[in-house]
Amino acid sequence: MKNIRNFCIIAHIDHGKSTLADRLLEYTNTVAAKDMEAQVLDNMDLERERGITIKSHAIQMDYVLDGEHYTLNLIDTPGHVDFSYEVSRSIAACEGALLIVDASQGVQAQTISNLYMAIDNDLEIIPVINKVDLDSAKPEEVEDEIIDLIGCDRSEIIRASGKTGLGVPEILKAIVERVPAPKGDPETPLQALIFDSVFNPFRGIIAYYKIVNGTIRTNDFVKFVSTGKEYHADEIGVLKLDLAPRKELSAGNVGYIISGIKTSREVRVGDTITHVDRPCDKSIEGFQEVKPMVFAGVYPIETEDFENLRSSLEKLQLNDASLTFSPESSAALGFGFRCGFLGLLHMEIIQERLGREFDMDVITTVPNVSYRVYDKGGTMTEVHNPSGLPDPTLIERIEEPYIRASIITVADFIGPIMTLCLGKRGELIKQDYISGNRIELTFDLPLGEIVIDFYDKLKSISKGYASFDYHIHDYRESKLVKLDILLNGESVDALSTLTHVDNAVTFGRRMCEKLKELIPRQQFDIAIQAAIGAKIIARETIKAVRKDVTAKCYGGDVSRKRKLLEKQKAGKKRMKQIGRVEVPQKAFLAVLKLD
């Protein structure tokens, strides 16, 4: 056990984690030259296309230092704030972390929040400055920032480059020397923490775990503590680039188990595995429950696909434990699911994965957050969906979630960023100069205002230099109203939203204008209206497609033309009574990108 090291790589998005991981795998000959490709651990098509890590990836490396063999278990983690739950689970399976900072960009918001997560779990931090080969690199300045941040010695910071491989031997040596070996006793009853799982159509569910105490062998009879289910361990092993079977694994190791589990409800991330005949006395402390930030309805385009969508979401949840869902129904869209996501990027990725991995065509409604509604009797109900809002006459007050946001940027962009945040009903809490001309702004913002387009706007006004991180702070009373969109007098509940009184009129107007562009013309006039209760606040009309019925009249009395036009008008009126307007999927998505 003294020769095992478990460590993860944490950093802000795009600071070169996956590229540096490639160099570590090359240096330790874990991946053969013929299998080597850029970002070898990012094995999902989506990750390669977007150049981001979405899933944590575990892999085992063998390393020799001074004639002694070491086993290094590396977990590469995502850097985007929407996938921070992946990072928290990876950190729980490690004793050390490489903190990677880009030499040209310096410390960013996500670097800080991931670092705090690692420090809370008592991990040994190894600071690394990456991309020092760039012309725009400022290693001295960045070293000062890191020293301010974690209070280490300058000599402890390693300068590296994921591209050229500079500093890789020093990093591996530092991992062996600085990261403590896992604690635990191979002789005590088995305790293993499940930190991830994946569905394989041929072999069932494969669970990844870290053994804290005890030893597991092939064909052992094991039990999953929280579900109480018992299985035979058909195959156990370690995670190389592919699965590598082993006869036994003892405390301190990271590995996988295949036991022919077919139903996804039986495996929970954060659960403990133990032996049936010699169980451990208590389960390991798992992870904190994930709190979804953004809610949206996901509906199958074909109603009969409802059960397929359920099983697809269950399989996705195995691989992404931060996804939550529960069934709901809508008058316009039929049966579907109310899904909770950690942010808009997370929502987009889940939608893409449903399409690619499970061939599911889905419609997603406007995202919103959960509100607390208090009625006159003082009873509180949580409302995730505007259609679940009680009658306005019964509501005493509505409270909405506020976040504490930290934005790190250079001083040049303070003005536009403050304007953006104050325009979103934000309150400036404090501003601190970190180093040089970099500044950290702390705001309290309503979560409902930032779920749609805040992050994109922040990136564009700061030319990509501002980094953003947040956590739920509290609930505050707000004047919110339900904004309904009516098509020919019928409410489309998938487009209704809860919004602040001050924004309702402008939002309603913009929504009507956007829908006018997106809904195709019919044989009759379509009235698009935005309403608060019974009061109409905005209206647009899509004109009917009309045949030129007067083309055959040349000369003669005007009454002939009028007669034909009246006849056409009556026909259009009849059509309007029976006509239904189909809202295209583009319209649901366009609401997210109103600007």
Could you write out the DSSP letters of every residue in 151-218? ---GGGPEE--TTT-TTHHHHHHHHHHHSPPPP--TTSPPEEEEEEEEEETTTEEEEEEEEEESEEET
Task: Find, among 87, 148, 14, the residue nearest to 465 by Cα.
Answer: 14
Task: Find, among 379, 408, 419, the residue nearest to 395 by Cα.
Answer: 379
Three-state secondary-structure class, residue 246 = strand
Tokens in use for 157? 């910071």
Tens of pLDDT along the chain (595 residues) come to: 788 888 888 888 778 888 888 888 888 887 776 676 766 666 677 777 777 777 777 888 888 888 888 888 888 788 777 777 778 878 888 888 988 888 888 887 778 778 888 888 888 999 899 888 888 888 888 888 888 888 888 888 888 888 888 888 888 888 888 888 888 888 888 888 888 888 888 888 888 888 888 888 888 888 888 888 888 888 888 888 778 888 888 888 888 888 888 877 788 888 888 888 888 888 777 666 677 777 888 888 888 888 999 988 988 888 787 888 888 877 667 788 988 887 778 888 888 888 888 888 888 877 777 888 888 888 888 887 777 777 778 888 888 888 888 888 878 888 888 898 888 888 899 888 877 677 888 999 888 887 777 777 887 787 766 777 777 888 888 888 888 888 887 787 777 778 888 888 888 888 888 888 888 887 778 888 999 888 898 998 888 887 887 878 877 788 888 888 888 888 877 777 666 676 766 666 666 555 5
CA distances from 366 to 194, 216, 490, 521 (A): 34, 47, 18, 23
C-beta of residue 40 within 8 angstroms of C-beta of residue 23: no
Distance CA 451, CA 332 (A): 24
CA–chain centroid gap for 403, Å, is 16
- Bridge partners of 500? 480
Task: Find, among 410, 371, 374, 364, the residue nearest to 394 by Cα.
Answer: 374
Three-state secondary-structure class, residue 493 = helix
DSSP symbols for 84-114: HHHHHHHHHT-SEEEEEEETTT---HHHHHH
Q: Tally helices (H) and strands (E) across the chain.
A: 14, 31
Per-residue model confidence (pLDDT) at position 332:
66
Tokens in use for 362? 């889905």
C-beta of residue 373 within 8 angstroms of C-beta of residue 383: yes
Q: Provide Rg for the chain, Cα atoms.
A: 28
Distance CA 424, CA 531 (A): 22
C-beta of residue 358 within 8 angstroms of C-beta of residue 312: yes
CA distances from 290 to 83, 122, 370, 448, 577 (A): 11, 21, 14, 18, 47
**Model pTM above 0.85:** no
Tokens in use for 595? 């600007």
Q: Where are the alpha helices (DSSP H) in 320-401?
A: 344-358
Per-residue model confidence (pLDDT) at position 199:
83
Distance CA 73, CA 59 (A): 6
Reported as type and span, the H/E element at residue 245 is: strand 243-246
Task: Find, among 222, 224, 322, the residue nearest to 277 by Cα.
Answer: 222
Tokens in use for 123? 């991990």
Q: How many other CB atoms are found less than 10 A from the CB of residue 552? A: 8
**Region of residue 533 (phi > 0: left; psi between -120 and 50: alpha; otherwise: beta):** left
